[in-house]
Amino acid sequence: MKKQKKKIIYFFYYVAAVILAIFAIGPLVWMVDTSFKTNSEVLSYPPSWGTINALPSRSLTADIIKTRAGQSSNPSALSLEALLGSLSTAQTTTLASPDTIAIHVLGASGYRGTGTMPRRGILIISLINNEGDLASYPTKFSTSDFNKVVNQISSISPLSTDVEQSISNLSQYISDPQEYILNFYDAFLYGPNPIFSRINFISNLLNVNGSSFQDQLAIFKKGIGPLTGIELKEISKILENALNLTTNSNAKTEISKYINDIKLYLDFDQFYEAQKQTKFDQPIELAFILKSNQLKIVKAPSVVESAYTSGDQIYITFKNTSFVWFLNDSVSVKANYNFWEVLANFFDNYVSAWNSAPFGIYYFNSIFVAVATTVLNIIFDVMMAFAFSKLTFPGRDKIFIAIIATMMIPYQVLLVADYLIIHSFGWINSYYALIIPWSATAFVIFLMRQSFNSIPNDLYDAAKIDGASSWRFLWTIAVPLSMPVIITGALLTFLGSWNSFLWVLIMTDTANMRTLPVGLQNFIINSGAIFNQLMAAATFTMIPVVIAFLFFQKYFVSGFFRSGIK
Amino acid sequence: MKNKLIVLISVALMMIFLALPVLAQPVVVTFWEGMGAKLGTTLQTITDLFNKQNPDIQVNLVYLGSGNEVDSKLLTALAANTLPTMAQVKGPWASMLVSKEVVAPLYKFSNFTEVASSIYPPLLVSGTFNGNIYTLPFNRDIFDLFLRPQIFEQAGLPYPKTMDEMAQDAKLLTVVQNGKTVRYGLGFRTTYRQFTAVAYQFGGSYISPDGKITINSPQNVAALTYLVNLVKAGYAYGKFGYFDNELTTSSVAMLLGGSAELTYDLSDIAGQSDGLVMVPIPSDVTFKPMLHGQNIAIFNTATEAQQQAAWKYLQFLLSPAIQLYWAVQTGYIPVNKQVANLPDWKNFVAQNQNGVGAIMVGLDQSADYAPNLPWWTNAREAIRTAFENAIHLTMTPQEALDWAQQQAEQAYASYNAK
Amino acid sequence: MNKKRNYIIGYLYLIPALVIFILFTYWPAIYSFYLSFFNTTTSTGHAIFVGLSNYAYLFRTGQLPYAFLTAFEYSLVRFIFAFVISIALFAWVESRGKYLLKNAIPLIIIPVLAISLVYPALSFWGGNTYMIFLWVLFGILSFYFAKNIAFLKLHMTLFLLSILGFYIVAFYIGNRMDLYTLFFDIAQNNSFVMSIWNTFYFVIIDVPLTIGISLAAGLLMKNLPFFKAFFRTAFFAPYVASIVAVSLLWLWLFNYHYGIFNFMLSWFGIPPINWLNSAALTMPTVAILSIWEYFGYYGLIFLSGLQNIDQEYYEAAEIEGANSFQRFVYITWPLLSPITFFVMVVSLINAFQVFTQVYVLYNQMPGPYANSGLTMVFYIYNTFYNEQQMGLASAAAYILLGIIMVLTLIQFRTTEKRVEYNI
């Protein structure tokens, strides 16, 4: 009966302990979890534990670059020397050849370190047409067909002024069909101010006077990207209806202009699509090459000649075909990784965090400074505590209280004066500045004094009669008897030194004198923090102290007990 | 006699040989900066190039954390007279350093007028004290409006150009589901800068041309009322903290912010097909975009040689090519006027799908976030508190700004009295 | 002679640590005390001796809506009213009505007078010197008669709570002028006064909760039969973590839209709490972070105290048939009191110096709005480094030091009788 009751009580104890433990280490577990995530996963909602970094494959969102401007290499991907080089010759950066397609991987390396496209593994790139099949390209391009369609569309009239302007601009490219096609789509759909951009085109239509189709058209204003072929056909139908109903002659000519605009585009688009006869027989598989911009072609259709990457773009060069044939297509990019690559992905944040600041030096400094501070602390604190506990001299207790009172001083105000003193010693930017000022701690002295108080005075008197000096008594009897307190004090001072930040920042000027908390600061920037790398760095900063605690925790607990606060 | 001569000559030779390595040693320039992460590596790359091109100068970067730590460090160094050769400083904050006469006036350096004239004039204001230029702009950005283009496309709305349009868009883009707002039209931080950025667009200012404090001017009150009304109506969301991912997860459609935040926000939407676009801040009366960011000061506590070397380095930093690289990599304004005409910059803007070009719009009409007054920190705190109180509806806009005006006048009076 | 030698040896032991304290703590403290009499931000650029005016500036009142004396009067009237009614209540409880007649004058007439006079005194007779005199008389009289109430002495805490309760009741009677409201009027215009309030608010939330939770943690660590080491490490882990990284982590746990806390609340259908963007919740939010960080550390101190208690007491109690609650109340709690006192002193000193948590949690700003996170150390830091008014900051630091010292001394005095503590 009684045992049963006890069991129930223990059950509640464990429930309470588990709740407290979750409260205590939950955030830390989350911290470690975050340290493995990619940028875009860090702030995902609802929060999830997993990360695609642990998966052997992932799909990346990507776009085909559809304009000429986007084709040339992006200045943000250039090195400083390359940029300076290109400036000194007063040339723009070289344009990619028209044979090359550029794919912008949206999940690629961002500004905050590595992004969601690690530069390893195999990329499987499929160009996909409107129907969801692999895309096609022409093998036999007939110039006469091209001339025919150009003639056909230039005979359409009347046209709205924008379109008229564009068509006359295009006439300069008649000798170069590829350029013509590229600039045609630039003008109508994909350029900076395209004719069929939703808001402009529909707004223009809505401004046409005395017609009754406004309500039907307004919905086309809402949508993503420029108007599609299907939508244009629908608009054209609505307009034709309106043309029949309208009596106003002014409106009639206006509407017919727009109908012709659409017809012109649709005619050309039909010609363009009809040219593509050969379908890709397989996706393009590319592999990253270490420390190189070139991509290795693993498996690809014969038209693919070579591939390279620059910044967040992938360039694929074709033989016998051109990128202009893929303007209306979309792209899907999938990345596959082998076991080692998954491992590398998984620890990516740790590697980038470690490399983003001289963490090796920081680590050494942190350990050296913390150990030295701790050792000095133990020597000085033990001496002082012993004097307060076992020796008699005038003003002993007053000095003790004065030492304890230092715990109450907010140290932020002492910084400037401390800096002045340390400067006058010539210690700025040296280990002395990090170690000496912290080599005596009031709280530890207090603990040790309590501990020494619990050693019977008789023992001390007996030792004195035996001829032992107070110094010898201290180190051979008192200190071994108070070992747990000393370990406790050591752990506390070690922790204090390990986590100190502002002090280190102000007292040192160079990276080789700085410690880990300063390194952590590197991931906090004006507009926020690089969470995943910060958490990775925080994790590897914390590990030594946690290990130290695991080793010494037994002493640590009995340390306070021995200090005999009673 | 002969012996003496030999001794003399050998002593002289020895001295020359001893002195040679000393002479050949490069001049060391220490630069205290607060550029973390990518900004830091970019600055390091630039500095490495400079050191390579100038073997007689060695510039050492000292990273000091990205918050107020640089200020703390400068203050302690000032007390101990251990200032570096040069440092990044906030314009108004530096007025104290200038009043202690430790900042080298830049007009004393050669080429100064040439360098100064290559920079957009409004950017020079925060470095000007008593008519002389003491600091030059370096990492400066401008307040813009960030928005999610797809949200606008889905709603069929063009990007706002005036404050009324922005209010209208905020209303149309707010989404309420089951009585809970899942998307606010507009987000802004309740900081001094955000209010100032909006107030400027209403024609507001804090100090009138004749030197009077005009915190509670009708324009400023109008700006505050505008924001408060949007919050009251539930179309806008104001909070003090960073908008970590509200914009990138589309729970606000528009966000006011500094242009340098673009690069940071972009990495959050990595992998999403919808982009992020930066447009110039809408304006009602006069388009006056607000600048913020930091300047660089050279201290005259350094030796003359060091100051000259620092000046050379500063010129290098502000040269068009370096400014181009800096701007492209970090999203800060290229402070040098020539950058806008470089083909690489044009190319960069043309390719950029995030409206990076907006950072160069209206630079000639722009104004700094704070007047260059040593006591302004107090007024600034008061304005921030007033802004917060108004947004949280504990005071009306007029009351709040009246209160801030009174606080600022007190701060001014106590500064002059002492 | 020998004695003198012993003295010298004693001092020799102190020298290394003492030199460090003198160089890096005492001398800087004296230096900043010296600075507190100077104005360092002047239009001329040189520091000027200003005497006590930095201290005066910190406590400047600005324009008051009513005089300090008036506020004091209203507070006094309310306090004496609450006092009189409470004493009457306690006397009535003790006598259970038996001696009511004997003490009719003090126990019935004075309270009735107090009740009938409180409204007029607080609304239209306010500012009248005779009224103050009358109320002081009331107070003295009731105090005189109440001296013999044994119940009151036994339940001092209850009595204080009762006074507070009646004070609050009285607050809603008559004009709402008061020292309390005056304080907030001053705080509105004087951020230092605001920072004092915020700091006290934080301490009042933080210290009792920290002690309660860490005591619970200590008891659990003591009584669990298995996995002791695991829980010990788990509870202590937050103390080890770097506060910079951890505060950022919490920033994000507290996020209104995406934070895990609000996500977990949504499981129970609780609407999201605006942790970080509400002035009222600023200090509780900071307190949660602070409790999280320190409870394991203090819990270990409690654990060591618990292990110090002789097991024989418990065995004896078990034979007597005491249940676990009784054992806690009659053995553990009294014997643990020195440890509790120790933790109280240390956590109080720590709580008064709260800064880093606010600094990181609120992006280097003093709270979301209305300076709700402006603690005293924050004020000192901000004045020192951002406003560059070192003299003013030093003066503020000395006021903080004074407050901590006074409170620690009060703690020592009040607990002296109950805690055997050799310092």
Q: What is the pLDDT of residues B153-182, one digit of tens each?
A: 888 888 888 888 999 899 988 888 877 788
Average pLDDT over residues A332-348: 86
Residues A66 and A39 both lie in one domain: no
Q: What percent of chain A has pLDDT over 90?
A: 7
Smallest Cβ–Cβ distance between A470 and the set C9, C397, C405 belongs to: C9
pLDDT of residue A379: 93
Average pLDDT, chain A: 81
pLDDT (tens digit, 9 = 90+) per residue, C200-239?
A: 999 999 999 999 999 999 988 888 878 888 888 889 888 8
Those of residues 67-96 in C touching chain A at CB distance below 8 A are none
Tell me, what's the ipTM?
Answer: 0.78
Is A75's CB within 8 Å of B344's CB?
yes
Q: What percent of chain C has pLDDT over 70?
A: 90
Contacts 24+ apart (CB under 8 A), A130-135: A130/A328, A130/A329, A133/A279, A134/A279, A134/A280, A134/A281, A134/A282, A134/A283, A135/A276, A135/A279, A135/A280, A135/A325, A135/A326, A135/A329
Question: Which residue ranges form the domains of chain B, and what is each CATH number?
Answer: 25-139+294-360 (3.40.190.10), 149-275+375-417 (3.40.190.10)
Is the confidence at residue B11, as pLDDT, over 50?
Answer: yes
Q: Which of C18, C25, C293, C297 to mutate to test the interface with A (most CBs of A within 10 A)?
A: C25
Averaged over A428-440, what is the pLDDT?
90
Domain boundary (A253, A275, A297) is at A275
Of the candidates A326, A345, A364, which is a domain's last residue?
Answer: A345
Sign of CA dihedral C340, C377, A374, A382: negative
Q: Would you say how long chain A is, in residues?
A: 566
Predicted confidence at residue A95, as pLDDT, reads: 43
**For range C375-400, the mean pLDDT:** 85
Out of B72, B100, B191, whose CB is closest to C385?
B72
- Residues of C whose CB is below 8 A from B418: 39, 41-43, 48, 50
Provide the shortest C-alpha distance from residue C416 to chain A (in Å). Answer: 12
Instruction: Please name the residues in contact with C48: beta carbons below 8 A apart, sequence gap of 6 or more.
Output: B418, C38, C39, C42
CA nearest to B249, candidates C275, C265, C258: C258
Rounded alpha-carbon distances, angstroms, from residue A139 to A105, A135, A280: 28, 13, 11
Residue B228 confidence (pLDDT): 92
Q: Let me know whether A295 and A405 are in one domain.
A: no
Please tell me which of the candidates C28, C224, C253 has its beta carbon nearest to residue A414: C28
Q: Which residue has the tokens 């709700």?
A: C372
DSSP A97-116: PTTEEEEEETTS--SSSS-S
Chain B nearest CA to A526, separation (Å): 6
Of B258, B269, B329, the CB nearest to A40: B269
Neighbours of B, requiring at least 3 CB pairs below 8 Å, are A, C
DSSP state of B126: G
Total domains present in chain A = 4
Both structure tokens of B255: 């966000």
Interface of A with C in 413-472 (CB under 8 A): 413-414, 416-418, 420-421, 436-437, 439-440, 442-443, 445, 453, 470
Task: Write down the pLDDT at residue C160.
Answer: 84
Residues 6+ apart with CB under 8 A from A116: A38, A39, A40, A52, A58, A60, A107, A108, B270, B271
3-state SS assignment for residue B178 = coil
Nearest CA in chain A to B293: A526
Task: Kindly state the helix (H) or strand (E) to which residue A296 belongs, with its residue range.
Answer: strand A294-299
Q: What pLDDT band is residue C107 in, cutting at 50, 70 and 90?
A: low
Q: Which chain B residue shows the shortest CA-CA distance from A422? A: B80
In C, minimum Cα distance to A416 occurs at C28
Judged by DSSP in three states, B271 sits in: coil
Give mean pLDDT, residues C370-387.
83
pLDDT for the residue B2: 61
Type of residue numbered B34 = G
For residues A404 and A316, membership in a common domain is answered with no
A111-140 residues labelled b (16+ CB within 10 A) or e (exposed)? bbbbbbbbebbbbbbbbbbeeeebbbbbee
Does the structure show a pLDDT above 60 at C43?
no
Question: Highest mean pLDDT: which of A55-64, A343-352, C21-30?
Answer: C21-30
DSSP result, C215-278: HHHHHHHHH-SS-HHHHHHHHHHHHHS-HHHHHHHHHHHT-TTT-HHHHHHHHTTPPPP-STT-
In chain C, where the domains are located: 2-58, 68-185, 190-416
Highest mean pLDDT: which of A314-318, A411-415, B312-316? B312-316
What are the percentages of helix, strand and coil residues in chain C, rounded to 5?
75, 0, 25
pLDDT band (50, 70, 90) for residue C104: low
Query: Do A161 and A268 share a domain, yes or no?
Result: yes
Interface probe with A: pick from B29, B264, B276, B324, most Cβ of A within 10 Å:
B264
CB distance A198 to A220 below 8 Å: yes
**Which residue did the predictor score with more confidence, B186 or C323?**
B186
How many CB atoms are closer than 10 A to CB A212? 11
Chain B neighbors of C370, CB-CB under 8 A: 385, 388-389, 392, 394
- The reply to whether B201 touches chain C by the CB within 8 Å rule is no
The answer on A519 and A371 residing in a single domain is: yes
CB–CB contact C20 A440 (8 Å): yes
For residue B14, the distance in angstroms to the closest alpha carbon of chain C comes to 44
Q: Least CA distance to B245: which residue of chain C? A: C258
Average pLDDT, integer, range A530-541? 85
Domain C190-416 top-level CATH class: mainly alpha
Contact present, B326 and B296 (Cβ < 8 Å): no
Confidence of residue A565 (pLDDT cuts 50, 70, 90): very low
Nearest chain A Cα distance for residue B271, angstroms:
4
Domain co-membership, A403 together with A522: yes
Contact yes or no for B241 and C39 at CB 8 A: no
**What is the distance between the alpha carbons of residues C277 and A546, in angstroms, rounded to a whole number?**
34
- Whether A566 shows a pLDDT value over 60: the answer reads no
Contacts of C61 (CB under 8 A, 6+ apart): C68, C186, C189, C190
| A429 and A535 both lie in a single domain | yes
Phi-psi region at B211: left, alpha or beta (left = phi > 0; alpha = psi -120 to 50): left
- Do A508 and A367 lie in one domain? The reply is yes
- CA distance, residue A115 to nearest chain B CA (Å): 7
| Nearest-by-CA chain B residue for A312 | B270
Surface of C (200-259) touching A: CB under 8 A: 213, 216-217, 220, 223-225, 229-246, 248-250, 252-253, 257-258
- Residues A66, A103 within the same domain: yes
Same domain, A179 and A227: yes
Q: What is the mean pLDDT of residues B251-271?
A: 74
Q: CB distance from A17 to chain C under 8 Å?
A: yes
Q: Which domain holds residue A67?
A: 56-138+279-345
The pTM of this model reads: 0.80
Residue C206's pLDDT is 93
pLDDT tens per residue, range C131-183: 777 778 777 877 777 666 666 667 777 888 888 888 888 888 777 777 888 88
The answer to whether residue A112 scores a pLDDT higher than 60 is no
So what's the pLDDT on residue A92?
A: 38
Q: How many CB pairs under 8 A join A and C?
A: 246
- pLDDT score recorded for residue B1: 55
